[in-house]
Amino acid sequence: MFNLFIDKDSRVFWEGAKKNRLMLQKSKNNGNFFLYSVGHSNVAADHEFEWVEASGNGKIYSYTVSYIPGGSKYYLDKTPYIIGSILLEENVRIMSNIITDDIKSVEIGKKVKVYFKKLSDEIVFPCFKLV
C-alpha cells in the first residue's frame, strides 16, 4: 500500500528514511537545498545536485489537526492527528505528521526534531516531535 510513494526521484529519500536519515537534495551550482524533485524546487532543472543528510531540526511553519481518517487504512484509528508544514534548518519545507500526546502543545514556531516511524518493511516515514 505505501510503496506507491516510491519512484525514481524519491528512492534515495525513502532508502535514507529506512536508515533513520532525512535526505535532501542540494544544488552543486548554488548550494540551495530542496526536497525531491528538482522539478518542484527553486533550483534550475539543469543544475547538478547531490543527496545530503539533513539535520532533522526545524520549526512548525503551519499545521492543521485532522479529526477525519486520511486516505488510507493506516489512519482509521489514529484520529485526531496533526499534519504540519515543517521549515527545516536547511530552509526547506516538508509536510509530515507531528507526533504528540498533547495536541494543544503544538504551536507555529515551536521547534521540532525528525522522528522516524516504521509503517511497513518498505516505508519508514519521517515524522516530527516537539523538542
For the chain, the structural domain boundaries read 2-130
> What pLDDT does residue 44 have?
55
- Average pLDDT, stretch 55-84? 88
> What pLDDT does residue 100 have?
95
Q: Is the model more confident about 72 or about 12?
A: 12
Domain 2-130 has CATH 2.40.50.840: yes
**Residues 9, 37: Cα–Cα separation, whole Å:** 6
Cα-based distances in Å from 60 to 26, 65, 78, 108? 22, 13, 21, 5
> What pLDDT does residue 69 have?
82
Cell output for 54: 539533513
**Residues 113, 103: Cα–Cα separation, whole Å:** 16
Cell output for 74: 493506516
**Residues 40, 47: Cα–Cα separation, whole Å:** 13
pLDDT at residue 113 is higher than 90: yes
User: Strand 93-99 and strand 124-130: pairing?
Assistant: parallel
